[in-house]
Structure 1
């Protein structure tokens, strides 16, 4: 039984090292793939974002990296809960702090791009409700990739 636990722990370590999440900013102008540690593995900017100035680019990229990192951390928590069980996952969460999507998730949106600069072929998403409960990450459209 101890060998099974050791194998499961080693498997969990390998999985946690490879976790990365890809998230698109709510305005659709930036997509980031990031690890739970905040390492940016891919960054895609829509040309319309570059016309909005350096401050807007920096703000949108920063927000998108934060969203992608939070999504990757949440996936790590979910994998850990599956591998170790809810009891141990709750203990880890009490030490490390709440998982990112347990707290209210409400990204900052810098505004909609003008219609002529909107990415082609993209549909506008409905805004998220203001009264998200602690299980709202199950309804998060960013997880449906």
Structure 2
């Protein structure tokens, strides 16, 4: 018999990108979460009766202040988190409008070129999403 600890926590997020206002080059948005002191892609847990796509867009807005236009589906990451399995569903997403305001969850964001973003990400598993985004945007 399985316990509720065996059921994966469902979450969703985006690899948020834009064209640099300075030179038109690709930039990715990373969020800094003071609770964990880490750099990651914007993501969060699904609310009751919420689908992953809706969650991904909501989390981007909450954590970055930007409106995201979802693009290609990216790999789902699976890993243990606080003693439970977790599944995070990701999409490529273009930032179409908005501006960042510091909040309880995220105190800073960075817009970085892909190589710098890959190097800044705290978790190695998140780095694979940078490569997946580049492939989805046909930039590899």
Normalising by the residue count of structure 1, what TM-score does the alignment of the two structures yield?
0.28
Of Structure 1 and Structure 2, the greater strand share is in 2
Report which of the two structures shows the higher radius of gyration computed on alpha carbons. Answer: 1
TM-score, scaled to structure 2: 0.29
- Whichever structure has more helix as a proportion of its residues is 1
Tell me which of the two structures has the higher relative contact order, counting C-alpha pairs closer than 8 angstroms and 6 or more residues apart: 2
